[in-house]
Amino acid sequence: MFTFLRRRTTSSVIPLIVVMLGVFCLARLTGDPASLYLPLNATEQMRADFTAAHGLDKPILAQMADYFGGILHLDFGQSLRTGEPALNMALRAFPATLQLAAATMTLAILGAVVVGSWAAFKPNGLADRVSGFLSMIAASVPDFWLAVTGVWIFAVSLGWLPTSGVEGGGTVWILPIATLLVRPFGVLVQVVRGAMVSALSSPYVRLARSKGADDYRVVTHHALRNAAAPALTVAGDLAVGLVNGAVVVETIFGWPGIGKLMIDSILQRDFAVLQAAVLVTALTIFLLNILIDLCYALLDARVRHTVQA
């Protein structure tokens, strides 16, 4: 297991370096922060003082060296907007994104297991056809369209739910979770259904039925466990996508997560905060991928044997 972790860590170093280098270069394409933070009538001396105070007067390679040197000491610099350490701002915003992603994936997995198993129990039946049609639509609907439509119907027209923010109790969670839930649920229903159809037609299930096992026991104790491996892989990819791709939804609903922080940092040309937010997200995705691989190894003896080798 230690060998597996070492290999996965080593293989992730280069992608992390590429991500850090990419965000450093792309952040500086957003424009000159001095033109945003200084008044329109600022003198050249004021601009020079501003860039010197934030290290922006150095050659680009020197700024890059300072950036990577700071990462080694967990120092990402200070926010141009607030003066607060950039890493502190990223770490404070990230739990909101994790909470949203965890709640969404929990509901998506539970719902997909129930619906997918129900559809697979009688292939090509009415339940199978209806769930297949609806799950295909759910997997294809864009998140941003759902978010805007949800706000228009349930917040603006009906007034049932708040439009944005985190104040207001449990109702503030409904629209963001519902928006993020639809696509993972649709994809997982199809995956669970396919894996369950294969598992229910396997020899060990037929043997269990011949021994008098009822339908509930066949599904929960035999088929579902063997169908969990492919579903877990897809669920892991979807969870990573939620952490990495909730930018639009967080911005629409004013959710104070890492995605909204990234968008705000781009608009405000707050390079240090943007760099810290992207790196925290990249490290989290790296850890999630390792956790998914370990869970997959626990479910599949063949993978476990390969890991131990």
Backbone angles phi, psi at 245, to 5 degrees: -120, 15
Domain residue spans in the chain? 97-269+281-302
Q: Is the pLDDT of residue 133 over 50?
A: yes
Position 34 scores a pLDDT of 81
Q: Among residues of the chain, what percentage have pLDDT more than 70?
A: 83
Mean pLDDT on 92-112: 88
State pLDDT tens for residues 234-251.
Answer: 887 788 777 776 777 888
Q: Identify the architecture of domain 97-269+281-302 in CATH.
A: Orthogonal Bundle (1.10)
What burial letters (b/e) apply to 170-197, b meaning 16+ CB within 10 Å?
eebbebbbbbbbbbbbbbbbbbbbbbbb
Tokens at residue 56, please? 């922006």
Give the torsion sign (CA, 57, 61, 64, 66). negative
- Pick the range with the lowest mean pLDDT from 95-104, 213-222, 228-237, 287-296: 213-222
Mean pLDDT, rounded, for 220-224:
65
**What does the H/E/C string look like for 252-270?**
HCCCCCHHHHHHHHHHCCC
The answer to whether residues 147 and 175 touch, using CB atoms and an 8 Å cutoff, is: yes
Residue 124's pLDDT band (cuts 50, 70, 90): confident
How high is the pLDDT of residue 307? 47
254, 175 contact by CB (below 8 A): no
| Cα–Cα distance, 96 to 258 (Å, whole number) | 8
The predicted-structure confidence for 253-266, as pLDDT tens digits, reads as follows 888 888 888 888 88
Reported pTM: 0.77
CB 183 within 8 A of CB 107: no
Instruction: Return the pLDDT at 120.
Output: 79
The reported pLDDT for the residue numbered 301 is 54
